[in-house]
Structure 1
Amino acid sequence: MYVDPQLKAVVSDVCTLPLNHARISAAKRAFVTRRVDLSDAKRIDPGATPRAGDLCLARLVRKGHHQRLELTTGRRARMEPGDEIIVAFGNRYATDQFHGVVPSQMGPCHLVAAGGIAAQMLDRHASTRKPTEIETIGTLCRADGSPINLADYAMEAPTPRIADHSFVIAVFGSGMNAGKTTSVCEIVRTLSRSNLSTAAVKITGTGAGGDIWQYQDCGAQHVLDFTDAGHASTMGLEAEALERIADHLIGQVDGKVDCIVVEIADGLLQRETQMLLRSEKFRSKVGSLVLATPDPLSALGGQQFLDTLGYRVAAYTGRISASPLFVNELREATHVPVLTSRDLESMDSAPLILMQQSVFDQHERMVGVA
């Protein structure tokens, strides 16, 4: 439908307010906003209905669990009541911290992730302190009044490559804090020692820089996560959107390196994780699957769950490495290799184990091949 530009400008003036550039410059800018060109922010809409990915100016009211804000540089800046911050609306699913959703309106809500996620907390883990309280002042807008959203600054879709594809190793966890990110880093180092070039990609999760900084530190040549695809978090997305993120991020580095190590957030039973596991499109990209786990029973339960979906586990790793007794128990209970941190550091055959094909087809599932 055609809208007269003059009428649009009048509506913009009524709904939004001019934004002082000095005010934006003085505000602490969160990690999840790092791809956004803030020179585009000319106005602010205090009455906007929040949407996932929209940038907003907020004011710290009371400090809680998150005492510092992770900046675009990775530095964690101390916050005090009254400080203004630039964050993005988003959902959060963290079994050991917060469950939060995009608020229904501007005003009081919570900072549920240090990377800069504004949400309404629904519940929290018993060991987690109350969330930091913020007040959202308004959505940042362009001169024409349109809201600024992370999706507008996503990386361009990759050009399909005809050349050889990279081998994809997907790292899943039996649950949250199973040691997935540490496992990704150890795998990257292992592959690098075998003269294999690597990229590290995080497809799902909540926007924060900690994981990707670790990827960089361990020597991955290319590092990407879902915020590069325009999302503050992936909680609540549908399967098609998750597939697009996987296509987008893996496609950016496919063929540029020998191996792509992919991390999937949270645990096997988490909604978005299950969607990716059940996606034939995602399955077609995966060469092997490594399961990070804290103990033998979680490993065996995870293996059984993955078998029903058509995946073999190439290897176990993760927090189980911390307990030699757990490692011995698991090795006695399964034929699947258990690669401890020491194994990944010193075992010459580790790359061959990690790159075993882990996906089997529908026919094999139907005839019960394990």
Structure 2
Amino acid sequence: MKVIFDKIASTTKNAKISRESLLSPEVPAEDGIVVAVRVIGTKSVYNSVEDLHGRMTPLNDGDILAAVLGSRRALRGYAGVVPDRVRVGDKLDILNLGGIVGKCTAGNPELGPPLKAEVLGVVLSFPYLGERTGVPATIKNNAVPCADKLEPSAPIVYVAGSCMQAGKTSACCEIIRVLSRRGRRVGAAKLTGVSLLRDTLGMTDRGAAFSLSFTDAGMASTSEAVAVRVSKGLINALNKEKPDCLVVELGDGIMGEYGVQAILSDPELMAAGTAHVLCATDPVAAWGCAELYRNRFKLPVHIISGPATDNSVGKDFVEKQIGVPALNARLDPEALGAAVENLLWPAAA
């Protein structure tokens, strides 16, 4: 069967899907497999998909979409899994803006039920010249290899947070902007979360010389089982570009299910970390994150940012009760960037 896609989701990028593609009805029920689906119905919220250029495009009833089978475990979004079996005609749920589809296991009252999509088949790729038999397309093709060992690295700035939407990406972007304007060659990455180009594109827009995410490593989303190996592979790849430093975001929250705790517990990854920036939604979250860092992970907290520092009330609490500088990425980005630079290169400050 041949299809012409109306939309190709950003999560498919490693698979290099053509607008006109051939399908097979034999769909492997595996994370990362690229499937063709037909959108069913419309919504007034959470009704878009990010395309290969990072542009959000609306999903309309009947659209043929190239999507990716995957899982999601979001507190403020949908949670879902890859079903045990996927057949043509099955109805799946669109789980995120990057075009991941699966079986929704938990919703969100602010978003309403997820959009449904009918499975049309698995997209076929033809990796071997002259071969007429296609194989199921997967985002594991052309992926940055995972690694068991971290090679010597440029100093790393780790940006973690209490939850999704805690200001992590904003903090990363402003740190990158300040450092790059001061002549530093900055590499950037998003190591955990669920696939979306928007975050790493934002880092590039702010001055990162190069950026990668776990999607480049062939993952629709991360978990404790894969996060460390994925992170080491991405950091090794970034270091081949000879950066002065790396600014990396640990997507979702410290206590989430995308593997942040595994990364913070890995001796090799933490040994390469020179600066730790925590983003928190409120003072209690800031306190809890700092306690986790100090007591569970035995790590320093150098800076706290995020909505907890949006005004003097939160800032005073952070600095007086937690004993950490409170630097807001939106209100005082220059001070945040300068503080990180001082941590990376004390003699330059």
Q: Do the two structures share a fold, i.e. TM-score over 0.5?
A: yes
- Give aligned-pair identity as a percent: 27
Paired letter, 1:259? C
Q: After alignment, is 274-283 or 204-213 more displaced?
A: 274-283
In the other structure, the counterpart of 2:65 is: 85
Aligned residue among 281, 288, 304 for 1:316? 304
Contact 1:243 1:281 in 2 (8 A): no
Q: Secondary structure at the match of 1:311?
A: coil
CA 1:317–1:42 in structure 2 vs 1: closer, same or farther (change >3 Å)? closer
Alpha-carbon distance in structure 1 between the residues aligned to 2:112 and 2:256 = 23
Matches within 5 A, 1:14-33: 19-20=1-2, 23-24=3-4, 26-33=5-12
1:283-332: CA deviation from partner (whole Å, max 9, x where unpaired): 23322211011222211111111112111111111222322211122211
Q: What is the DSSP-based 3-state SS (H/G/I as helix, E as strand, rest coil) of the residue aligned with 1:140?
A: strand
**Corresponding residue to 1:50 among 22, 29, 45:** 29
Name the counterpart of 2:83: 103
Question: Deviation per CA, 1:201-240, whole angstroms, max 9, x where unpaired?
Answer: 0011111121112111111111111111111111x451xx
Q: Contact 1:344 / 1:350 at 8 angstroms: preserved in 2? A: no
Q: What's the offset of the Cα at 1:266?
A: 0.9
Residues 224-283 of structure 1: CA distance to partner in whole angstroms, max 9, x if unpaired?
11111111111x451xx2222111211112161111001011111113111222222332
Q: 2 CA distance for matches of 1:226 and 1:141?
A: 23
From 217, 237, 240, the equivalent of 1:252 is 237
Choose from 270, 279, 285 the match for 2:272. Answer: 285
**Contact 1:69–1:78 under 8 Å retained in 2:** yes
| TM-score scaled by length of structure 2 | 0.87
Aligned pair 1:63/2:63, yes or no? no
Structure 1 residues 348, 111: closer, same or farther in 2, change over 3 A?
A: closer
**3-state secondary structure, aligned to 1:153:** coil
The two structures have a TM-score, normalised by structure 1, of 0.82
Is the contact between residue 314 and residue 355 of structure 1 (CA under 8 Å) also seen in structure 2? no
Q: How many residues align?
A: 331
Comparing 39-48 with 60-69, greater Cα deviation is found at 39-48
Partner of 2:294: 307
Distance change in 2, residues 1:188/1:262 (3 Å) = same
Q: Hey, what does 1:149 align to over in structure 2?
A: 138
Of residues 237, 243, 260 in structure 1, which corresponds to 2:228? 243
Q: How does 1:285-364 map to 2 (within 5 A)?
A: 285-308=272-295, 309-341=297-329, 342-346=331-335, 349-355=338-344
Which residue matches 2:105? 122
Amino acid paired to 2:291:
Q
> In the aligned structure 1, how far is the partner of 2:52 from the partner of 2:271?
34
CA contact (8 A) 2:227 2:260 kept: no
Letter matched to residue 265 of structure 1 = G
Structure 1 unmatched ranges of 5 or more: 1-18, 358-370
Higher helix proportion (structure 1 or 2): 1
CA distance in 1, matches of 2:163, 2:48: 26
Q: Partner of 2:40: helix, strand, or coil?
A: strand
Residues in 1 aligned to 2:324 and 2:344: alpha-carbon distance in whole angstroms: 13
C-alpha distance in 2 between matches for 1:41 and 1:141:
11
- Specify every segment of 5 or more residues in structure 2 that has no aligned partner in the other structure, as ranges: 126-131
